[in-house]
């Protein structure tokens, strides 16, 4: 590992260098240069007043936030913990530096409003600051930091620009087993008893968690969906889809997700005394299902359809080396941005589960644990972002999100879109998570150039109603 702040060895032209946790110090020296020696920042737009976007400042802020973490590998800043409170304090300081009015509601959602938001519908940019345990430095955080950089440039050009930054609380499911808690509470998408009924994984009710986090149950924000012209979330690509490139992903849709628990019940028996022909081995049925589910996914890929099929949880009873398994449960995580593919695959997986059960003499129970439908982004916002990319000659492509985000909550009420920054490491929720500087510069440029059109979106839409 080279020392922080050192200049990386030369890489082939057109191949972006990844930026990983703990390596962004001294970025002014390390920013990639083109053949003419022009640095990344020099390529970013600058107006007549000299206000320019600063990718190095974005990466420096990310490094600062990465230090707000529990000890251990990567970043651990779980929602409603002390570290999360320190993240909110960092957000408040940034608002003060930029002259934004800071607000935090009773659920921990943080907003920074420019003075222009009192006069005109705002363009809202942001994401979340909480993390999973031992995360990378960019998931969620990137969108908040980009929001502040976009706001800084917009307000330098026009102090009356209606721009706002947001950090939604508890986006990750680490604390409660469900995600996007803050944004769903903001919009009333969790039922009225959520404060009492929703418990974290330690059994503490949400109301007590919020109180313990120092949040005021009477606090509210001036957030009003009708006062938002558009919402844009910039996010690290959480897989390898954009690769080691400078490409920016423009999200047309966020995948729906179905989680299904499947149980096979056979007969527990002694491993030595029960003949193979007489066994009703639940684990064998589950194993056959897992292989068949992988084959089904391969067929989906071969048809050019988009989906993922994951079995990441399995439980056996009895779970002993000298016992034939009597009951096996698995949870299937199925995702697709196409509602028809989602439903067809769900039905196919249930048929497979019942077929392997019949083959092994097993009883089968299939229970849907949760279902989220795919969410399309605003065609108008996506169109504006793509046009800004074409104008600035930013390499980009349509790229559906297979992971869930706060944007899927907002998109039902506010014209919304997402941009993905390429991740050369190809992993997320992992300290190795990385971002391409070139892709980051492209996303900043696209969003900055799109702002004038986004500012008038709400007025245009309302006039047409």
Would you say residue 179 has pLDDT above 50?
yes
Give the span between the Cα atoms of 31 and 439, in whole angstroms: 13
pLDDT band at 220 (very low <50, low <70, confident <90, very high): confident
- Percent of the chain scoring above 70 in pLDDT: 87
Domain boundary among 372, 403, 427: 372
Q: How confident is the model at residue 194 (pLDDT cuts 50, 70, 90)?
A: confident
Dihedral class, residue 262 (left if φ above 0, else alpha if ψ from -120 to 50, else beta): beta
Model confidence band, residue 222 (pLDDT cutoffs 50, 70, 90): confident
| Same domain flag for 143 and 215 | yes
Return the percentage of the chain with pLDDT > 90, whole number: 79
Q: What is the mean pLDDT of residues 178-193?
A: 87
Domain final residue, candidates 324, 350, 372: 372
Number of domains in the chain: 2
CATH of the domain at 53: 3.40.630.10
Confidence at 164, pLDDT banded by 50, 70, 90: very high
pLDDT tens-digit map of 81-133? 999 999 999 999 999 999 999 999 999 999 999 999 999 999 999 999 999 99
- My answer on whether 413 and 363 are in the same domain is no
**Domain annotation covers residue 325:** yes
Same domain, 260 and 248: no
Does residue 176 sit within a domain? yes
Domain encompassing residue 84? 18-254+375-464
Nearest 10 degrees: CA dihedral of 172, 178, 180, 186? -140
Q: Is 265 found in the same domain as 387? A: no
CATH of the domain at 348: 3.30.70.360
Residue range 372-401, pLDDT digits in tens: 899 999 999 999 999 999 999 999 999 999
Q: Identify whether residues 42 and 114 lie together within a single domain.
A: yes
pLDDT of residue 221 exceeding 90: no
Q: Indicate if the pLDDT at residue 13 is higher than 70.
A: no
In this structure, the answer to whether residues 88 and 145 fall within a common structural domain is: yes
Helix 437-455 / helix 379-392 crossing angle, nearest 10 deg: 120
Q: Are residues 103 and 64 in the same domain?
A: yes
Average pLDDT over residues 11-40: 34
Instruction: Clarify whether residues 242 and 269 are in a common domain.
Output: no
The structure tokens 């390390």 sit at 30
**Domain-ending residue, one of 350, 372, 394:** 372
- pLDDT reading at 456 higher than 80: yes
69 domain-assigned: yes
Other C-beta atoms within 10 Å of 249: how many?
23
User: Average pLDDT of 333-357?
Assistant: 97
Assigned domain for 417 exists:
yes
Closest CA to 437 of 1, 24, 9, 22: 24
Q: Is residue 2 part of a domain?
A: no
Q: Compute the radius of gyration of the chain from its Cα atoms.
A: 24
pLDDT at 417 over 70: yes
Q: Does residue 296 sit in helix, strand or coil?
A: helix
Asked whether residue 7 is assigned to any structural domain, the reply reads no
> Do residue 362 and residue 381 come from a single domain?
no
Give the separation between CA 177 and CA 191, rounded to whole angstroms: 16
Average pLDDT over residues 291-305: 98
Does 299 reside within a domain?
A: yes
**Region 195-210: what's the mean pLDDT?**
90
Identify the pLDDT of residue 403: 92
The stretch 149-164 carries a mean pLDDT of 97
pLDDT per residue as tens digits for the range 232-278: 999 999 999 998 889 999 999 999 999 999 999 999 999 999 899 99
Average pLDDT, the chain: 88
Q: Are residues 163 and 232 in the same domain?
A: yes
The pair of three-digit structure tokens given for residue 157, joined into one six-digit string: 């050009």
pLDDT digits (tens, 9 = 90+) for 54-80: 888 999 999 999 999 999 999 999 999
Q: Is residue 98 part of a domain?
A: yes
Coil, helix or strand for 307?
A: coil
| CA–CA distances in Å: residue 118 to residues 121, 127, 222, 461 | 8, 22, 10, 19
pLDDT score of 345 more than 60: yes
353: which residues sit within 8 A by CB, 6+ positions away? 262, 264, 289, 364, 366
Helix (H, G, I), strand (E, B) or coil at 217: coil
Q: Domain check: are 312 and 442 in the same one?
A: no
What integer pLDDT is reported at residue 2 of this predicted model?
Answer: 30
- d(CA 461, CA 449) in angstroms, rounded, equals 20
- pLDDT reading at 313 higher than 80: yes
For residue 192, the model assigns a pLDDT of 65
pLDDT for 218 equals 80
Predicted pLDDT at 27: 28
Q: 281 and 233, same structural domain?
A: no
């Amino acid at each position: 590992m080279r020392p922080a702040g050192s200049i990386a060895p030369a890489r082939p032209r057109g191949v972006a260098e990844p930026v990983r946790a703990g390596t962004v110090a001294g970025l002014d020296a390390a920013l990639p240069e083109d053949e003419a020696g022009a640095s990344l920042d020099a390529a970013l737009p600058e107006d007549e007043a000299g206000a320019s976007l600063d990718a190095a400042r974005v990466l420096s802020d990310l490094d600062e936030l990465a230090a707000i973490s529990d000890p251990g590998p990567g970043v651990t800043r779980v929602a409603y913990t002390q570290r999360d409170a320190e993240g909110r304090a960092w957000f408040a300081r940034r608002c003060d530096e930029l002259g934004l009015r800071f607000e935090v509601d009773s659920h921990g959602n943080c907003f920074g409003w420019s003075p222009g938001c009192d006069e005109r519908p705002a363009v809202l940019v942001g994401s979340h600051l909480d993390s999973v345990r031992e995360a990378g430095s960019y998931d969620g955080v990137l969108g908040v930091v980009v929001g502040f950089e976009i706001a800084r440039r917009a307000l330098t050009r026009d102090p009356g620009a209606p721009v706002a930054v947001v950090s939604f609380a508890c986006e990750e499911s680490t604390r409660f087993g469900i995600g996007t808690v803050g944004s769903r509470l903001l919009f009333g998408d969790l039922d009225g008893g959520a404060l009492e009924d929703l418990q974290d994984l330690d059994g503490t009710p949400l109301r007590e968690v919020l109180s313990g986090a120092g949040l005021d149950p009477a606090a509210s924000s001036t957030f009003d969906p009708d006062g938002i012209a558009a919402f844009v979330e910039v996010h690290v690509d959480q897989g390898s889809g954009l690769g080691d490139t400078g490409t920016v992903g423009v999200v047309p849709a966020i995948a729906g997700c179905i989680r299904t628990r499947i149980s096979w019940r056979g007969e527990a028996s002694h491993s030595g005394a029960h003949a193979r022909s007489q066994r009703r081995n639940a684990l064998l049925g589950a194993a056959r299902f897992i292989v068949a589910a992988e084959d089904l996914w391969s067929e989906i890929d071969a048809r050019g359809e988009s989906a993922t099929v994951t079995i990441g949880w399995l439980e056996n009873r009895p779970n002993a080396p000298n016992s034939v398994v009597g009951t096996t449960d698995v949870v299937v995580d199925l995702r697709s941005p196409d509602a028809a593919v989602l439903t067809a695959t769900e039905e196919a997986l249930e048929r497979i589960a019942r077929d392997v059960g019949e083959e092994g003499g097993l009883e089968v129970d299939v229970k849907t644990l949760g279902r989220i439908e795919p969410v399309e982004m605003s065609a108008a916002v996506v169109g504006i972002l793509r046009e800004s990319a074409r104008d600035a000659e930013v390499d980009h492509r349509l790229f559906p999100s297979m992971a869930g985000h706060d944007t899927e909550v907002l998109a039902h009420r506010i014209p919304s879109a997402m941009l993905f920054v390429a991740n050369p490491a190809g992993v997320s929720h992992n300290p190795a998570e990385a971002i391409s500087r070139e892709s980051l510069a492209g996303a900043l440029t696209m969003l900055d150039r799109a702002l004038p059109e986004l500012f008038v979106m709400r007025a245009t839409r309302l006039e047409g109603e």
